[in-house]
Amino acid sequence: MLVAARDFEDGRNFAKLGAPVIMKTTTDKPSLPFDYIAAHEFLTRNDPHLADVVARTGEFQFKLDECDSVYESLLEAIVYQSISGKAAAKIFSRIQALGANGVCPTPAEILKTRIPALRKAGLSKAKALAMKDLAQKTIDGIVPTLEAAQKMSDEELVERLISVRGIGAWTVEMFLIFRLGRPDVLPIHDLGVQKGWAITYRKRKIPKPKDLLKFGERWRPWRTIASWYMWRAVHLAGKDARKITKPGPKKKRSASNKALKNPAAKNKPRGKSR
């Protein structure tokens, strides 16, 4: 299940802070398409702050989504956008019931389903139209099969998938991380990752995306694993995560302040002299 819920505002719930709820606890060693032991050694070797989060987290409980297709993952992601996981699960169960197999409607079935029926299931008009576009682009071959997606680069997948209405870079990044298990993805616009960074590196405010991108260069080629620990940092912080705030807009300097910084400007003649 790929969950793209982004209700970050209250910081009360780990899943709501950007981490899809597919991350379930497990006592089994993860079977992943990357060497997570090498990733941990690299990330903790020269970063005591990140090493502390790793130590306090304990077992690496990263689990991949098991959706059968790119289409199915994105169909579910559309439902989960911007609403609570509980509400999204209920709506998605109604969408699943629209399919003949009761598991997931095919692209052709979505195209045949009228907008009012999708709205009745609980979707907004925008999400209903996004589903229609996803279905059409899947039939047209723009949305690749899972097998084809696994052979494509991250950049190529982002370019392809954001062409679908309602699918942004963040949703594709979650797909890359939690379905394909790509090891070097850094979702710089994810508030959970931003807050986790501020907590881990003891900052009062979240970083700007461009600053997080620059900082994340030190995590290459394991930015996915570092991002996962940023989500865990938020979880470990609990209610204290609410103390992390967004940077406010820069205050404009008043004319008097400008004059104080530049005394010459104060005595500068205005207009033309006669």
Q: What global pTM score does this model have?
A: 0.78
Rounded to an integer, the average pLDDT of 124-147 is: 97
Q: Looking at the annotation, which residues are catalytic?
A: 190
- 52 pLDDT higher than 50: yes
Rounded to an integer, the average pLDDT of 60-73 is: 91
All structural domains of the chain, each given as residue ranges with its CATH number in brackets, are 70-178 (1.10.340.30)
Cβ-based burial of 7 (10 A; exposed 0-12, middle 13-18, buried ≥19): buried
| Amino acid 8: pLDDT | 33
Q: What is the mean pLDDT of the chain?
A: 85
Residue 83 banded pLDDT, cuts 50, 70, 90:
confident
| Amino acid 245: pLDDT | 86
